[in-house]
Chains A and B, each alone.
Chain A
Amino acid sequence: MDSEGLSVRIDFERPRYSKRALFKGEEGQKLRFTLTNESDTTLNVLKWHTPLIGFDSDMFRVKKGGEQAVYLGPIVKWGLPRPEDYLTLEPKASESVEFDLAEAYDIFEAGDYSVQYESSILDVGREEPEALAKMAADCNEYIPTSVSSNVAEFRLLDGKMPRQLKGVAFDSIAQMQKVSAKVPTYRNCTPEQQKLLEIALADAVKITLESKNILLNTVECARSEASRFTNWFGAYDGYRYDRVKSNFGSIWDALANKDIIFNAKCDPELCHAFAYVYPTNPYEIFLGNAFWRASLNGTDSQSGTIVHETSHFYIVVGTNDHVYGQSGCQQLATGNPAKTVSNADSHEYFAENNPERNMGADRGSIFVTSSGWREMPAGFQGSFNAALNGDGPFKGKCFFFKGVSYVRYDWNAERADPGYPRKIKDGWRNLPAGFQGSFSAAINGDGPFKGKCFFFKGDSYVRYDWNEDRADPDYPKKIKDGWNNLPAGFQRSFDDLINGSGPFAGKCYIFKGDSYVRYDWKADRADPGYPAKIIKNWRRLPAGFEGGFNAALEGDGKFSSKGYFFKGKSYIRYNWNGDCAESES
């Protein structure tokens, strides 16, 4: 047999200006392999151990520095060659094939690589394929010809996860999650593909469950700063948020509880895709080459693709592909956020969460009193004893008390009224002796006590009538005699009180140290089950505010859904509807 006359060349497609081809981490390394008959006679070549037949052995040296990339492809033990396993090459003719090197080699670390084809062509001859095949069968032995190619170079611009490690590390995860994921149906899948799919489905269940839960558990106050949400679904909007939350509930339910079918046989025209579905045909997912090349998790991963495809089924969410890709989806979130709730990739990227984004801070913000409350006079920029909204003729105002003085603030103008501070005894009429300053707390009555307000000091209180603009006669009284059912320890020296709003209207909250009691205005008694710790039921309080406050004030006008808590020179905003401390925005 004549081994002379064969040459092999390998080429990457590369930018004109560059010596080497450049690839991004996840895109694979497309390589063209060309086998040429340099001789003047027709040659027949056995295609085994060349890419012309696909990967059947470790036929390339893929190196980065001194390190050789691990071959992950199959090692085929061939039987006897058949005539059709031979390729006929006319003189000077070539045959070439393009394939993805990353399919067979674990190429994951960023850097410069060299590649060389170095293998043996098992059988080459001038004889007809039939004759060569018969000879090979007769002697049951070939005389291999060593062939090596030029060295091609490429650069991997960014790294990815090694495929080998994934296989090992995620076996145990898949094991753990087997309970939650149903076994899918496999169509046209090899055992290796089934194993991959089992892991990918378990991961898809995991990331959709995590998505669903984090959407459920993120309090409203955190949502506007939840970059993981806003990045993919646009600025926070309650309706859109709820849609996405319910979408993930549906996707999770489908993945965890329905009969998912994976079909590895793709329409030839679509095989280069990640995957496709017929939205009217749940839950069958057809997988293409890009899926098998993708990593288990990360951007455009296997598990993310499963989430994407599942969301397409009409019975699940019925998403569309309005746009694709991370930058396209971000563009949609900014320009047309309403469409994101029906865009598949937006859901995929939220679930993949790569690069990682959060769902907002765990705690609300602390604000500086002197910046949030404008034109407060010197000495009134914090450390109030109590705060109170005006009512009756004084509606639209609020009052801050400190020592023997007070300041009036205008909710609409959002600034302190000029001419303050004034002495409490000059502005508030008929206050009994000993009740002309140093209140510990103040609150407006509600329900049967509307139109009144109450000042507290030590174990006593005074009731004030807004319309009469004077303290009611026969006060002070003992707190324990006028306020019913207060637990021991809550019958004197409150820090302050605040009226609930929204879902908490009709109640007032009495704070003392790190605890509070809820009082019902209509029943005129403290609700049972108190005191409770502030930290237990007031959500997202910033550090320092879980232990209590100096003063509390209901918002009014356009701020009526908020409560304000003051401590030292700082304050926080509490959102009654979201039941959480707000963030700066």
Chain B
Amino acid sequence: MAHRSDDYKASGSALKYSLIAEDSYSMGKPIILGFTLENLTNECFWILTWYTPLEGLKGRILKVTCRGKEILYNGLMVKRGGPELADYVRIGPKGSVSAKVDLSAAYSLPVSNECRVEFEGRIHDIVRDTNFVFIGRDEHHWIDIKGNAVAFRVVGPLRE
């Protein structure tokens, strides 16, 4: 296994994320949030999708609060082995990648005037395109990036 040169450590300001939500959702129905990761630079990066919405919900990566109370995550939490190429996604200069996650799969949201979702904003491995060498999980260097939180309403189920 080769070592990467150190310059892959892109700064946190190279990327930003956005969360997108509807104004309201129905309780018991899917609650689909959009997630977009944007490359703000003119470089090309490989991004490890682990523990980001780009791979779905496979960890406690979102903080969900309804009526001011944090909602318990009831999805799964994974301790990863070695990454595979498929675990990375390439983002070109000024490019972006998007994914959708269904919150209702891992959180039981109550009827609420305001539920708030935050992403902790951590990218666990980022590599400049020209530098891409596969390295073990233990050599990954995480960075924190900025983005927005979203808020929405959860309404009761409609009477049939």
Residue ranges of A at the interface with B (Cβ–Cβ < 8 Å): 15, 22-24, 27-28, 157, 270, 272-280, 288-290, 293, 299-300, 305, 308-309, 312, 314, 320-328, 331, 344-345
Q: A276-B76, A276-B78, A309-B79 are in contact. Are A15 and B140 (CB under 8 A)?
A: no
Can you list 9 A-B contacts (CB < 8 A)?
A: A15-B2, A273-B81, A276-B79, A277-B77, A280-B72, A321-B59, A327-B138, A328-B141, A345-B79
State the CA gap A278–B75 with chains docked (Å). Answer: 6
Q: Compute the total of residue contacts between A and B using a CB distance below 8 Å.
A: 98
Q: Are B139 and A325 in contact, CB atoms less than 8 angstroms apart?
A: yes
CB-CB under 8 A for A327 and B79, given A278-B74, A314-B72 = no
Complex contact B74–A280 (CB within 8 A): yes
Distance in angstroms from B159 CB to nearest chain A CB is 30
Cβ 8 A contact of A279, one of B60, B84, B137: B60
Q: How far is the CA of A579 from the CA of B62 in the complex (A)?
A: 43
Give the complex CA separation of A160 and B73 in angstroms: 37
Closest to B55 in A: A269
Contact yes or no, A27 B82, CB < 8 A = yes
CA distance A275 to B122 in the complex (A): 21
Contact residues in A for B74 (Cβ distance below 8 Å) = 278-280
- The verdict on A275 contacting B79 (CB below 8 Å), with A22-B1, A321-B59, A324-B124 known, is yes
A326 near B84 (CB under 8 angstroms)? no
Contact pattern, B 68-110, Cβ under 8 Å of A = 1, otherwise 0: 0000111111111110100000000000000000000000000
Tell me how far the C-beta of A370 lies from the nearest C-beta in chain B, rounded to whole angstroms.
45
A293 and B81 alpha carbons, distance in the complex (Å): 10
Cβ contact within 8 Å between B76 and A277: yes
Contact A272 B77 (CB under 8 A): no
Partner of B142, one of A270, A275, A323: A323
Judge whether A321 and B51 touch: CB under 8 Å.
Answer: yes
B118 at the interface (CB under 8 A from A): no
Report if A289-B1 is in contact (Cβ < 8 Å); known contacts: A24-B136, A325-B139.
no
Contacting A at CB under 8 A, from B1-31, are 1-2
Q: In the bound complex, do residue B76 and residue A278 qualify as a contact, i.e. CB atoms below 8 Å apart?
A: yes
* B80 cross-chain contacts in A, Cβ below 8 A: 273-274, 290, 324
B1 touches A157 (CB 8 A): yes
Chain A contacts of B129 at CB under 8 A? none
B79 near A308: Cβ-Cβ < 8 Å? yes
Cross-interface CB contact of B136 among A27, A288, A320, A322, cutoff 8 Å: A27
* A322→B79 CA distance, assembly (Å): 11
Q: Which residues of B contact A305 (CB under 8 A)?
A: 79
